[in-house]
Chains A and B, each alone.
Chain A
Amino acid sequence: MEYRLNLPVGEEDILKIKAGDTIYITGLVVTARDEAHKKAIEMYDEGKELPIDFSKVAIFHCGPIVKKEGDEWKVVAAGPTTSSRMEIFEYDFIKRFNTRIIIGKGGMGEKTAKACKEFKAVYAAFTGGAAVLAANAIKKVKDVFWLEELGMPEALWVLEVEDFGPLTVTIDAHGKNLTEEVKQKAKEIAKKIEF
């Protein structure tokens, strides 16, 4: 199935999506890599106010190239980064912020799948490296936070996107994890190969 979603999305929208489906999203997407995940969780636990309501946006594992033209930031290239690095943070992140859509590449593990099931979220893969395609769907850089402290790749870039995709859902809110299944099957096949 193919879905076009407008953010923010509710639990009902999330529950109809199945692993293997393609989605395109319109709304606000916020980039967050290792450092941003860590900082957001720490700030929440210390009772500090976060600059963004992460429940209303999609999180994008991405370290973009951004250029300043006059007063405005322009995204040059913005493909996904490897999501497995965020595996150690994602359960805690989704639990605290109730984010519904996580976007990255390469798939995520058991803990993220558990969070998606418990808190009704999905993980979707944007084609790795397809940075120009992604940049073309970004209409505007709405804001940026933590730029000074974390640097260009790690900052929180708030992006207005239109029909951002294709995103292949690999973890749904029903406990299915497509890339993990593919990997387990591949391991079985590899075991039987004789050289």
Chain B
Amino acid sequence: MKEKIANEIANLIANAVIDLPKDVEDALRKAMENEEEPAKTQLKAVLKNIELARQQRKPMCQDTGTPTFYVEVGYNFPYKDIIKDAIVEGVRKATKEVPLRPNAVDVLTGKNSGDNTGLHIPYINWELVDGDECKITVMPKGGGSENMSTLKMLKPGVGIKGVKKFVLEWMVEAAGNPCPPTVVGVGIGGGADIAMKLAKKALLRKVGERHSNKEIAKMEEELLNAINSTGIGAMGLGGKTTVLDVHVEIAHRHPASLPVAIAVQCWANRRKSLKIDKEGKIWNID
């Protein structure tokens, strides 16, 4: 069973780095159609690259990212004990077979492990849920956009206005570095770690999908329009679309704190999911 899951994980990673989700591609195409030069040339190159990656079964970007997983495991799912090992094995297999770029480097020695595994890597975000199934999502997270992520502990007195201002100013400062048009995840509240977890998880939401809370949904659109109005554009060369979407998630905060975390994802907003049932049947889901 472990080998079967590991093989499926390796396939899942391969598909994630080769085949960009349709919602992201559609948003990029719309941006290209509305754009002028030199941003139009850049977006055309991005779209052509997405097509070539699919045709040639090659990773769309040479930075195949830090292997990051989100696992929702049912209380009654029978294979809980082998999931972690299967994920690590799947990462090693995909690294060799796709191949992926080895991206796990020892912090002290600078040595690359060579197989994308190491201390806490691949990173797995665990969540226990009802039921007897398991859902596994892989997010190969690129380094260039990750470097533009940030956290700030704001003074609660600045309010939500201050939060929006911070996000806008930060994305202007990031400019062309995270490979725009990007998707931006914002986590507000909780503590430092909670805000960042929320920000990163928000990147899994589809482009165009709004938060169920109407006020948050409105904030997402406000931020989307504000960032795009600054004209940073594709690759920071000037243009109308700097971000494809902004996804905000919130948690209750401590009275003294207003943490705001920003996680940035490049246009290669890669993600793929699969499900495993209690009989061990595995299938891909959208």
Q: Which residue of A lies closest to B176 (CB)?
A: A106
Q: How far is the CA of A127 from the CA of B49 in the complex (A)?
A: 10
B62 interfacial contact with A, CB 8 Å: yes
Interface residues of A in 146-195 (CB under 8 A from B): 151-153, 166, 168, 170, 178-179, 182-183, 185-187, 189-190, 193, 195
* Residues from chain B with Cβ under 8 Å of A84 in the complex: 177
* Residues from chain B with Cβ under 8 Å of A130 in the complex: 45-46, 48-49, 61
B230 interfacial contact with A, CB 8 Å: yes
How many whole Å from B134's CB to the nearest CB in chain A? 30
| A183 contacts B41, C-beta separation under 8 Å | no
Decide yes or no: A179 and B60 within 8 Å by CB, A152-B101, A190-B230 being known contacts: no
Q: How far is the CA of A131 from the CA of B46 in the complex (A)?
A: 9
A133 interfacial contact with B, CB 8 Å: yes
Main secondary structure of the interface of B (DSSP, over half): loop
| A65 contacts B64, C-beta separation under 8 Å | yes
* Residues from chain B with Cβ under 8 Å of A65 in the complex: 59, 62, 64, 99-101
* Residues from chain B with Cβ under 8 Å of A43 in the complex: none
Q: Which residue of A lies closest to B164 (CB)?
A: A195
Decide yes or no: A168 and B38 within 8 Å by CB, A129-B268, A131-B62, A179-B176 being known contacts: yes
| B101 contacts A185, C-beta separation under 8 Å | no
Contact of A82 among B42, B59, B144, B226 (CB under 8 A): B144
Main secondary structure of the interface of A (DSSP, over half): mixed
Q: How far is the CA of A79 from the CA of B45 in the complex (A)?
A: 12
Per-residue interface assignment for chain A, residues 14 to 39, with 1 indicating a CB less than 8 Å from any chain B CB and 0 otherwise: 00000010100000000000000000
Q: How many A-B residue pairs have CB under 8 A?
A: 163
| B161 contacts A186, C-beta separation under 8 Å | no
Q: How far is the CA of A189 from the CA of B175 in the complex (A)?
A: 13
Q: What bracket does the count of chain B residues touching chain A fall in?
A: 35 or more
Chain A CB count within 10 A is highest, among B164, B175, B178, for B175
How many whole Å from B53's CB to the nearest CB in chain A? 5
* Residues from chain B with Cβ under 8 Å of A187 in the complex: 172, 230
Decide yes or no: A132 and B58 within 8 Å by CB, A127-B46, A182-B238 being known contacts: yes
| B175 contacts A182, C-beta separation under 8 Å | yes
Contact of B226 among A107, A129, A182, A193 (CB under 8 A): A193
Per-residue interface assignment for chain B, residues 192 to 222, with 1 indicating a CB less than 8 Å from any chain A CB and 0 otherwise: 0000000000000000000000000000001
| A183 contacts B175, C-beta separation under 8 Å | yes
Interface residues of B in 239-286 (CB under 8 A from A): 266-268
| A129 contacts B231, C-beta separation under 8 Å | no
Q: How far is the CA of A79 from the CA of B62 in the complex (A)?
A: 6
B8 interfacial contact with A, CB 8 Å: no
Q: How far is the CA of A7 from the CA of B177 in the complex (A)?
A: 27
| B231 contacts A189, C-beta separation under 8 Å | yes
B168 interfacial contact with A, CB 8 Å: yes
Q: Which residue of B lies closest to A20 (CB)?
A: B38
- For this complex, 14 residue pairs linking A to B, each with C-beta atoms less than 8 Å apart, are A105-B235, A106-B144, A106-B175, A107-B175, A125-B176, A128-B267, A130-B45, A132-B56, A132-B58, A178-B238, A182-B237, A187-B230, A190-B226, A195-B161
Q: Which residues of B contact A (CB under 8 A)?
A: 38, 41-42, 45-46, 48-49, 52-53, 56, 58-64, 99-102, 112, 142, 144, 147, 160-161, 164-165, 168-169, 172, 175-179, 222, 226, 229-233, 235-238, 266-268
Q: Which 3 A-B pairs have the closest CB atoms?
A: A128-B179, A186-B230, A77-B62
Q: Which residues of A contact B (CB under 8 A)?
A: 20, 22, 62-65, 67, 76-79, 81-82, 84, 105-107, 125, 127-133, 135-136, 151-153, 166, 168, 170, 178-179, 182-183, 185-187, 189-190, 193, 195
